[in-house]
Amino acid sequence: MKIVYLYPGQGTQVVGMGKDLYEKYEEVRKVYKIAGEALGESVEEITYNLSQEELNETKNTQIAIYVMSMAITELLKKEGITAEMSAGLSLGEYSALTYANAIKLEEGVKIVRKRGILMQNLAPKGNWAMSAIIGLEDEKVKEACTKVDNGFVKAVNYNCPGQVVISGEREAVLKAMEISKELGARKVIELKTSGPFHTEKLIEASKELKKELEKLSFNKLNTEVVKNADGKPYKAGDNMVEILSNHVIKPVMFRKSLETMLDEGADTFIEVGPGKTLSGFAKKVCKEKGVEANVFNIESVETLENVLENIKNN
């Protein structure tokens, strides 16, 4: 069995996520305690007590998802379950790098909190949106964006066969959603995000994030991490500061990341954190490649117990 972890990004957040895990497991509470001490503020307050609208703000979303993901990772570690590879969607790449020990948890919470604040505060003024286009080829989604003659919109996340996320000015995104339907899209869904993420509109946030990343000490990876930039594993000598600062203005090649993992023999995918988005992507990529794999997600006591039962019985 070759286990890989998938770490979610923005859009999967919901108020109270993971609270049953927090209440049941000391390991989870310990991660939240470490995070709170490092930040000087309560991540529990952000995750459990804000309104959904407040939690959807990028500065809050990112830290809440990151800490929940790392808390679940600690539970898996305690149970003797480890992954040979990991990948994360956008924000989730920081979770993967933390799992692989490139970033220590105490430093991870600080840089993720800073990243969220920068991405929210340094996005140019405007009404921004992101949308998932489902059931349309990548090239057709790009075509839909180029056909929008008024406003800024781009294809930014290549998630899995038949799903691409677009990002930009809300009116332009809405128009691209319409055109995508005309071109044959099965469904279009506006996402719970608040900025033109993974486009050049975040260049100022990218520059400021680079300054913060330069303060970090990156450690040698102790497990393989597949990066968003090109869907390939990090290798020795990679400039993580450059890669991660460009991360917010470049497309996410998550489909390629999943294909790389399958090519390297992955047969068990565990999504670690809120939602089932990435496990859904994994199932679609496996189906396209004709590969049978076990796909799980962990976001609650029930889903954790399901994974433990299945993994330990195999």
Please name the residue that has the structure tokens 């090519």: 263
Give me 36's structure tokens.
Answer: 């709170």
- DSSP state at residue 156: E
d(CA 185, CA 177) in angstroms, rounded, equals 9
Catalytic residues: 90, 198
Bridge pairing between strands 163-169 and 128-134: antiparallel
Please name the residue that has the structure tokens 């990343």: 213
d(CA 155, CA 168) in angstroms, rounded, equals 9
Give me 81's structure tokens.
Answer: 């379950």
Residue 32 has phi, psi (to 5 degrees) of: -65, -35
d(CA 249, CA 255) in angstroms, rounded, equals 18
d(CA 128, CA 134) in angstroms, rounded, equals 20
8 Å CB contact between 263 and 234:
no
Q: Would you give the distance in Å from CA 284 to the centre of its chain?
A: 17
8 Å CB contact between 220 and 245:
no
